[in-house]
């Protein structure tokens, strides 16, 4: 047995698992000075972190790939890197890094520049805080909360893409649940719609069933689809020209015609301060 074996045993546990000294000793049935020497070896090679939790010293294994990256960083870069790594797919604001690290803002910016040049981290845009510079690890994909999901491109709502998807979803449902199939035609399930979009290569980004359901609910709100127990069906009004549909003050407003009304909320990826109001008023 060796320090390498201890490291391998620690990595077998759940990601980011914290171990007490006693738990580490049980993994390899080693204690005392020998265990201390192994832990020191792993710590010096950046393969183990020594942390404190509730007043107790804890140990955390670091993957070999991450250890290789960390071993090449300066002490300041390591501090900045750790805060970014902890943020995972949500990213972290540069000012938050500065506040938590107690490093001077110029030092933080210098570290960020160096880490970016090494392709260790990347800057990402937030749909909720467009002026903020957010950073995350280079190999991670940002969360939907950060980017707004597939409906957004470079933190801007891609309305043309949303409209295209709405039309594709509606026409697929219409073709499979129209009157020619009879009143008892089964509804279309979101799984079938998703597979159709994949097969037709309609979307340049991956959509899950939750995304498809949002599109269907927008179409339900527009009275183009109706919600059924097992899926969705096209309605009689779904493909009528706009002038034949009943109109009122609300449906003529910008919100009444918004394709992403169902995901609109204050502070959300789509909110009431969107640009469409200005365009509509003009």
CA dist list (Å): 266 to 195, 259, 263: 32, 17, 10
Q: Just give the CATH number of 73-147.
A: 1.10.10.10
Q: 3-63: what fold?
A: Arc Repressor Mutant, subunit A (1.10.10)
Domain assignments of the chain as residue spans, ordered by start: 3-63, 73-147, 150-281
The pLDDT of residue 275 is 56
Q: Measuring CA to CA, which residue among 229, 231, 240 is closest to residue 177?
A: 231
Q: What is the residue whose two structure tokens read 């899926």? A: 231
pTM of the predicted protein model: 0.56
| Angle of CA points 75, 77, 78, to nearest 5° | 65
φ/ψ region of 122 (left if φ > 0, alpha if ψ in -120 to 50, else beta) reads beta
The pLDDT of residue 59 is 92
Model confidence pLDDT, tens digit, residues 232-263:
988 866 554 444 445 555 555 556 556 555 55
The pLDDT of residue 179 is 53
CA dist list (Å): 81 to 16, 35, 85: 16, 28, 6
What is the helix (H) or strand (E) element at residue 232, kind and residue range? Answer: strand 231-234
The pLDDT of residue 76 is 95
The pLDDT of residue 40 is 93
Q: Measuring CA to CA, which residue among 229, 216, 197, 200 is closest to residue 263?
A: 216
- In angstroms, the CA 103 to CA 92 distance is 15
Domains 3-63 and 73-147 share a fold: yes
Model confidence pLDDT, tens digit, residues 153-200:
766 777 888 889 999 999 999 888 765 455 567 888 999 999 999 998
Residues of the chain with pLDDT under 70: 154-155, 178-184, 236-282
């Amino acid at each position: 047995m060796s320090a390498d074996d201890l490291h391998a045993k620690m990595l077998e546990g759940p990601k980011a698992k914290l171990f007490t000294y006693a738990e580490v000793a049980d993994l390899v049935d080693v204690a005392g000075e020998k265990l201390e020497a192994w832990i020191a070896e792993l710590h010096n090679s950046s393969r183990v972190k020594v942390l404190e939790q509730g007043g107790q010293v804890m140990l955390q294994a670091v993957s070999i790939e991450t250890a290789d990256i960390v071993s090449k960083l300066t002490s300041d870069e390591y501090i900045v890197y750790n805060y970014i790594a902890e943020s995972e797919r949500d990213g972290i604001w540069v000012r938050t890094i500065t506040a938590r690290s107690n490093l001077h803002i110029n030092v933080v910016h210098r570290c960020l520049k160096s880490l970016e040049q090494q392709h260790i981290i990347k800057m990402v845009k937030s749909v909720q805080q467009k002026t903020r510079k957010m950073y995350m690890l280079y190999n991670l994909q940002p969360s939907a909360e950060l980017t707004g999901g597939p409906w957004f491109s470079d933190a801007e709502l891609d309305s043309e893409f949303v409209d295209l998807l709405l039309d594709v979803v509606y026409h697929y449902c219409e073709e499979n649940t129209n009157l020619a199939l009879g009143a008892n035609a089964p509804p279309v399930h979101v799984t079938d719609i998703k597979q159709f979009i994949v097969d037709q290569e309609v979307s340049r980004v991956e959509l899950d069933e939750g995304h498809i359901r949002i599109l269907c609910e927008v179409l339900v709100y527009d009275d183009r689809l109706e919600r059924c127990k097992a899926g969705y069906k096209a309605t009689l009004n779904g493909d009528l020209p706009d002038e034949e549909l009943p109109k009122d003050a609300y449906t003529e407003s910008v919100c009444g015609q918004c394709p992403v009304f169902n995901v609109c909320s204050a502070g959300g990826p789509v909110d009431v301060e969107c640009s469409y109001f200005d365009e509509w008023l003009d």
